[in-house]
Amino acid sequence: MKQSLQLHAAPTLAMTPQLQQSLRLLQLSALEFEQEIARALAENPFLERVEDGEPGAAPAERGPGAAGDGQSSPIDGAAAPATDAAPDMAPDTTADVAIERISREDLAADWWTGRAPADAGEEADVGVYTASPVGLRDHLLDQVRASRLDEREKLLAGVVVEALDDDGYLRQSLDELPAVLPADLAVEADDFTIALAFVQSLEPAGVGARSPAECLGLQLARLPEDRPGRDLALRIVRHHLDALAAHDTPRLLRALGCDEAALRRAHELIMHLDPHPGSRFGAPDARYVVADVVVRKVRGRWLASINPQVLPRIRVNELYADIFRGSRESNSGLSQQLQEARWLVRNAQQRFHTIRRVAQAIVERQSRYFEYGDVAMQPLLQRDIAREVGVHESTVSRVANGKYMITPRGLIEFKHFFGTHVLADDGHACSSTAIRALIRQIIANERPGAPLSDIKVTRKLGDYGVRVARRTVTKYRDAMRIPPVEARRLGARLPADESANL
């Protein structure tokens, strides 16, 4: 065979650095974007932040490229009406006043109000005056230290406490605990049996358990012996917890030899127990999100505007740019930084312009949701918004990733408005979110003593014109963590005089 070279012309998309930066900025969340802007301000000398009160610090909102070439125009919070922006607080000049001495009363007052001492200056740390949360182990160890045990028993109890997980369970075997202590103490597994019994007597009730059944049993054992349903509940959690978890009411009635009213009373008592007694001490840190878009109803129309708090007030420092251009020395590094600064300002404008357009298209499609809630959610796909806005579907996907809008119905993620759909009897599509809301509404309105099965819920959905399979109702109900019909029947409310005794 003879080898040869041939040339073919084919259109391709070149991912320029500017395009790559634009796509990367678009998929960032509000907090991540703010961190990116802060990093660029720290590294690029041609970027500067526009301070309040400077000329041109609050121009009207414009699309990308509206301000000349879009290179030196600032990006700020003028997208919303001026009345919505909160004025900056005036600096507190009294903080600069030096105080030679601080009395104990003044220090105590500062601690009580959460303020730093007046002479602390910038080095003061308010966290010093804020009480730190108490963990489960610290809470238990404080009780061990306050007990009347001798030092050796306190040591063993402390080892057991340190071996607990965040839920308060002891996942390790008692035979493994002696290995953490020096051999000269001559500690055996039987010694830890006594220490474990002491830990299980501490607060909160249920800590130190080695299984959910033991955890629930420890809590029931602390209830008064004359509490209605206590003895039957103890039998259930010790011997028939699997049947209770499976909601097998006939099996429970046969095994316990009781009537349905007594079983319901015991079940109600078990439902008030906490299977994770240590979780209240190990609550995860709250994660805060910032809304990218604010949705309001103006003159009967729902409008989306960019949240002014997320708009970075940045621009290219033209003074530095003119000095660099006027200098005769060539510096490829500075030239690249100047180009990147102009790209960042333009791409940031493009980012918020695209987010606002996509948000407005979503709001217009889902306007009935803002009026009536989840039951009025319309079926919507990302390609529908992409076709309406005139962008690629991947662009809508990047906009919906990690973006939120603040609405009269709360803080809502963009992804909440997209979902699958089914066809109703009249041929119109119904969103899965609306079907879930209908299922939740139907179950909420059922009689407590006669809950509806999934097949009955399916028939009631048919009365609304929504035809779905029974397995679809089961899948949606499980996704919403609604118990099945047997569990709802078993957990039906008792009469007021009986439930008051639980």
- The DSSP symbol for 125 reads -
**Does 87 score more than 60 pLDDT?**
no
The per-residue pLDDT for 56 is: 44
SS3 content of the chain, % helix, strand, coil (to 5): 50, 10, 40
> Among the listed ranges 7-16, 309-318, 443-452, which one has the minimum average pLDDT value?
7-16
- Identify the CATH homologous superfamily for domain 422-499: Homeodomain-like (1.10.10.60)
What is the average pLDDT across 218-234? 87
pLDDT in tens, 425-442: 555 667 788 888 888 889
82: pLDDT strictly greater than 60:
no
pLDDT for 14 equals 65
Q: What is the pLDDT of residue 103?
A: 31
Question: Would the pTM count as exceeding 0.75?
Answer: no
pLDDT given for residue 491 in this prediction:
62
Q: Across residues 320-340, what is the average pLDDT?
A: 76
Checking if the pLDDT of 283 tops 70, the result is no
| Alpha carbons 175 and 159: distance in angstroms, whole number | 13
Of 110-119, 132-141, 338-347, 361-370, least confident by mean pLDDT is: 110-119
pLDDT tens per residue across span 157-203:
888 888 888 888 888 888 777 777 777 777 777 778 888 888 888 88
**DSSP secondary structure letters along 26-74:** HTS-HHHHHHHHHHHHHH-TTEEEPPTTSTTSSPPP--TT-STTSSS--
Q: Which pLDDT value is given to residue 149?
A: 84
Mean pLDDT of the chain: 76
The residues spanned by each domain of the chain are 16-82+284-419, 136-199, 215-271, 422-499
